[in-house]
Every structure is written in C-alpha cells, then in structure tokens.
C-alpha cells in the first residue's frame, strides 16, 4: 500500500511519499523516510521491497557521490536517471531490484525535471508521476488539476488534494506522508502530513 | 553459493529402471510432495515458502529514558508440536549489545555469533567499539546477500553506544528499520497492543521491565506458538543485565489470582418420603 508521487512546477519539483514500514498486517513504523536526498539538488522517492529499496537507493547515492569526487562536477538529473535505469536493467534478468523510483532534480541549465523509473527499468521524463496503489487516485487528480508552471503553493495544494483522496478512498491508506521539494536552493524536506504521532 | 535442492528431488531412483540395490528395503532419497502450482515462474519462491519456518515467537524491545528494554518468550514449536519451552531467544552479541531471535533458530544463532565476531574484529581494527548502527548494517548487508535463499531471520539489535541507546529491526528480506519500539513474531500484534497503551518515555527501569513482562505474558496467553519463560533484559550505559525470567503460567496466576467462587445454590439431601 505504498504511495509515491511527484510533479514539476515553476522552478521546482515536488516528491511526496507515504512513511509507513509494513510487514503483512503490522505497521512496524509510521515515520520512515522513503525520499532520499541523492545530492544537493536531487531527490529520489522510492517504493518497493524493503531490502531492495534501502540497498539500491544507497548504492545509487554512493555512486553519484563518487562521480562527483572523481570528476569534480556533479551529475545532471538526466545522467543520474540513466545511470539508475542502467543498473536496474543489468540486474533485471538475474537478480532484479523490486524498486520503483520517482527522481526529481534541479539543474542550473535545464531547470527542474522529474523522471519515472520502473522496477523493470522503464525510464520516462515526465511532468507528473505516481507509483503504488495511491497512484490510482493521485494520477487522475494530477491529470485533472495540474497545469504547467504552478507555484509552490498551488503544487502543495494539489499534493494535499491527492493525499486526501488516497486517505479517503484507499482501503488500507498509509497514516503519514512526507513532502520534499527541490529548487535552485537545493533539495530539502518541506513538510509532513500526519494522522499519527510516532 | 551452491544451493541445495536435494529436498526437492522426486523419489525416482537415480539410475533409470528398477535397480535391485535400491529396492532391497532401503528407502529412496528423502523428499516431500512438490507444491502444486499453476505458476511455474513462482515455483522456486513457493517451494522456499513451504520449507520456511513461520516465526512462531514473541520478542519485543523498546527505548526509554534509561536505555533499552529487551524481552522474549522461550517456546520453540514445529507446527503443532512444542519442541522446547526453554530456548534462549535473547542472544548476547557482546557485553553492550543484544540480539533477539525470531524465525529459524539456527539462522539467528549462527548469524548473531558471526555478527559478534565481526564486531570484535572492528574493535581490534579501529580501537573503538562498533556503533549499533554499524552492527545492524553489517547484519543487514549479510542477510541481503542471501536474499531468496530461504534464510528466516527477524531480529532486533539493541545496544548502547556513544550516541546513547540504539534499536534496529533487521530481517532476512533485507529490511532494516531504526525505531524506538518493535515487536517481532507471531505473537507480536498482541504484544504491540499492550506495549503501545502502556508506553511512556519517562518510565523507571522497574516500570519498563514490568511493561515488557506484561506484554510478553499477554502475547503468550493468546498465541499458541509463544510461551515458556518471559525473559527481560535491560541495556544501559554500562552494558546489558538480565532482570528477570518468569514462567508465564505463574505470571498468569500472579496477575489474575483465582477468586473463590460464590456458591449460588447448595445441594441438600433429598428427603425420603
């Protein structure tokens, strides 16, 4: 029942993810941060199997840092997305990583961008993306109300509408959500939407 | 890593046809019925699921102001048979770190012992103790590399390091969670109920021990795969100490003593007419 979704606005990109760590009927933790800050200007929201999610995202994070140390220049969002897709594709026929990723980044030259990366190594550059059971509700909400060049307030309002819809319509809806944003000032946590304190 | 498929082989003899050497009273190679599955691609996953022991146990751990409280039951069950009532499910990795056992007993014992070795090597190589974060990451990475091969481990690593008390949940699926309160095993939903309603960060050590003991007791009361002795350990700044080990049957009568029943009606002698 994991939900990750994201959208691009005017000069920023937003990623929203639920924060529950679940094992069959038990919620072990409801404040698990599933949006990793990849580097100063990239966010990676990941959903999927617990072990794969943590291991693959950390592997990508360390390799992105290594590239920057070796070449003295950070990877662009597009390059990072293609690197991730390549790793997923290589592992696919032997030992697939069951992780779905929404990558959001800000580059000085090209501005904000959002990438949809599937567990079978699909890669698309998109304006809005969603994964998980929540995507059934979030995608249509975003299709209806999204428009290009939204302000931060408009995008947060749309994200809140999606979260409300997921909360009211999904049978085992996650309790808490985290919202992270990336713009020219960097990638940072924006806010939480909680129903339970943990 | 060579996987052992001997359990999945059918009972047909190796050399084709009826070999006299094999059919003179000695049984064929041990095997079990292959799981019926219409999904051939999931076959391996299904067969691993079949041999995977369910995590029949109750273990819990939580962080409070004076450290970490760790508690577990002591029953080992094989299906409906209770094979032991005195299993040590809290494993002493080193004098300041504990691990709990849920899932396969052998897997947990071996990998915790292995983790203890790696922690000691870290101490010798770096002249300082390993953190709880580091120890749990070592274990999680090892378990991740054996993913899909049938290990069954659901463990909590509890310890006290330079940053204070630390608690991590690590399982054989490769998941690793940092938290303040966890319960693992078939009895864990029952334990969570008691734990969540009674938890306060500012408990004393005695209050926390009583909460842990009570939570294990209630889980053993309702869950058939949990029972035996409720052990409670405390991890403080100077390391771990065992606080108590009480038989849950005796705990039951101390929490709910037998009241003498009120007699409603007395039988009297029938009067002969």
pLDDT tens string B41-77: 666 566 555 555 557 899 999 999 999 999 999 998 8
Q: Going along B14-108, which residue ranges are E strands?
A: 59-64, 67-72, 76-78, 81-84, 90-94, 97-100
pLDDT of residue B170: 95
Q: Is-contact B158 B138, C-beta < 8 A?
A: no
The lowest-confidence range among B100-104, B155-159, B248-252 is B100-104
Rounded to two decimals, what is the model's pTM?
A: 0.80
Whole-number pLDDT of residue B41: 60
Taking CA atoms, B107 is separated from A136, B91, B112, B145, B149, in Å, by: 40, 12, 8, 14, 12
Q: Which residues in chain B touch residue A51, judged by CB atoms under 8 angstroms apart? A: 140, 143-144, 147, 173-176
CA of residue B131 relative to chain centroid, distance? 23
| Closest-CA residue to A3 (of A24, A14, A19) | A19
| Joined tokens for residue B24 | 């003179």
* Cβ-nearest to A51 among B169, B173, B179: B173
Confidence of residue B104 (pLDDT cuts 50, 70, 90): confident
**What residues of B are in contact with residue A28 (Cβ under 8 Å)?**
169, 177, 179, 182
Cβ contact (<8 Å) for B140 and A50?
no
Asked if pLDDT for residue B148 goes beyond 50, the answer is yes
Contact B157, B143 (CB under 8 A): no
User: Which pLDDT score is estimated for B269?
Assistant: 82
C-alpha to C-alpha distance for A152 and A74, rounded to whole angstroms:
26
DSSP state of B54: P
Q: How confident is the model at residue B78 (pLDDT cuts 50, 70, 90)?
A: confident
| Contact (CB, 8 A) for B213 and B251 | yes
User: To probe the interface with B, which of A27, A51, A52 has the most B CB atoms within 10 Å?
Assistant: A51
């Amino acid at each position: 029942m994991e939900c990750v979704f994201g959208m691009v606005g005017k000069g920023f990109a937003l990623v929203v993810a639920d924060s529950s760590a679940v094992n069959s009927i038990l919620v072990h933790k409801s404040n698990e941060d599933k949006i990793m800050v990849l580097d100063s200007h990239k966010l990676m929201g990941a959903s999927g199997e617990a072990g794969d999610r943590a291991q693959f995202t950390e592997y990508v994070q360390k390799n992105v840092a290594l590239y920057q140390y070796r070449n003295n220049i950070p990877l662009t969002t597009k390059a990072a997305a293609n690197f991730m897709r390549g790793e997923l594709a290589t592992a696919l026929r032997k030992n697939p990583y069951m992780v779905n990723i929404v990558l959001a980044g800000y580059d000085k030259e090209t501005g904000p961008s959002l990438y949809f990366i599937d567990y079978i190594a699909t890669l698309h550059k998109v304006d809005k993306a969603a994964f998980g059971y929540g995507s059934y509700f979030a995608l249509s909400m975003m299709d209806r109300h999204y428009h290009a060049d939204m302000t931060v307030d408009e995008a947060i309002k749309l994200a809140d509408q999606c979260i409300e819809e997921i909360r009211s319509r999904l049978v085992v809806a996650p309790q808490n959500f985290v919202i992270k944003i990336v713009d020219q000032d960097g990638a940072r946590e924006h806010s939480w939407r909680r129903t339970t304190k943990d | 890593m060579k996987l052992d498929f001997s359990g999945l082989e059918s009972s047909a003899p190796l050399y084709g046809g009826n070999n006299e050497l094999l059919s003179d009273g000695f049984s064929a190679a041990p095997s079990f019925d292959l799981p019926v599955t219409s999904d051939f691609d999931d076959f391996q996953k299904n067969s691993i699921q079949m041999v995977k022991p369910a995590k029949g146990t109750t273990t819990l751990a939580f962080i409070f102001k004076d450290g970490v409280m760790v508690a577990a039951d002591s029953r080992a069950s094989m299906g409906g048979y209770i094979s032991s009532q005195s299993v040590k499910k809290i494993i002493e990795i080193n004098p300041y770190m504990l691990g709990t056992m849920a899932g396969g007993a052998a897997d947990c014992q071996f990998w915790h012992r292995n983790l203890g070795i790696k922690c000691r090597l870290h101490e010798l190589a770096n002249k300082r103790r390993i953190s709880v974060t580091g120890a749990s990451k070592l274990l999680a990475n090892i378990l991740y590399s054996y993913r899909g091969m049938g290990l069954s481990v659901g463990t909590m690593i509890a310890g006290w390091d330079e940053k204070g008390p630390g608690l991590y949940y690590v399982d054989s699926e490769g998941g690793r969670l940092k938290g303040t309160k966890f319960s693992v095993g078939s009895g864990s939903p029952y334990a969570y109920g008691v734990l969540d309603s009674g938890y306060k960060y500012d408990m004393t050590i005695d209050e926390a021990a009583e909460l842990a003991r009570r939570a294990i007791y209630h889980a053993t009361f309702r869950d058939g795969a949990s029972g035996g002795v409720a052990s409670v350990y405390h991890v403080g700044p100077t390391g771990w100490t065992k606080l108590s080990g009480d038989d849950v049957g005796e705990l039951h009568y101390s929490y709910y003593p037998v009241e003498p029943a009120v007699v409603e009606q007395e039988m009297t002698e029938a009067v002969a007419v």
